[in-house]
Amino acid sequence: MYKGDTELTDTENGFVINEEGSYDLKFNSIIDPEQLPLYNIKIAWGDGENSVITDQDHRPEEDFPHVISHNYVNIEDEKTMEIKIRINDNWGYNKCCMSDDNCSNFPPSYVDTGDCPAQCPCD
């Protein structure tokens, strides 16, 4: 997660947001070629807001990640935001990454399709 060119602190509970403004989430995705296209990306931003992004191709190359922006508002004190990403392919398989699980290496990380954990609230 970035604010401008500054990379945010990633804790085991999420990213630390300490001021209002636009933030960029950068991550990669890998989809099996037989399961293309990428159907959608769902993001829970940790502040109660959710986004559904369509018309994206998978981005397996680390130098060319997805870059999705979000505007955080009403940030008076430092807050830790647990961001959840769910990627769905054309066959209905999905992968959910949360800032406190094995996909917490973003940005950027590779998100492949597989089973989405039941605790992912990105629906």
Is the residue at 77 inside a domain? yes
- Which pLDDT belongs to residue 3? 92
The pTM score is: 0.76
Is the residue at 119 inside a domain? no
Is the residue at 29 inside a domain? yes
Q: How many domains is the chain partitioned into structurally? A: 1
- Which pLDDT belongs to residue 115? 43
SS (H, E, C) the chain: CEECCEECCEECCEEEECCCEEEEEEEEEECCHHHCCEEEEEEECCCCCEEEECCCCCCCCCCCCEEEEEEECCCCCCEEECCEEEEEECCCCEEEEECCCCCCCCCCCEEECECCCCCCCCC
Is the residue at 57 inside a domain? yes
Return averaged pLDDT per consecutive 10 residues of the chain, 123 residues in all.
Answer: 88 85 89 83 88 88 91 88 82 64 37 45 50
Residue 29 sits in a domain whose CATH number is: 2.60.40
Is the residue at 62 inside a domain? yes
Is the residue at 99 inside a domain? yes
- Which pLDDT belongs to residue 120? 54
Is the residue at 109 inside a domain? no
- Structural domain that includes position 48: 2-104
Is the residue at 35 inside a domain? yes
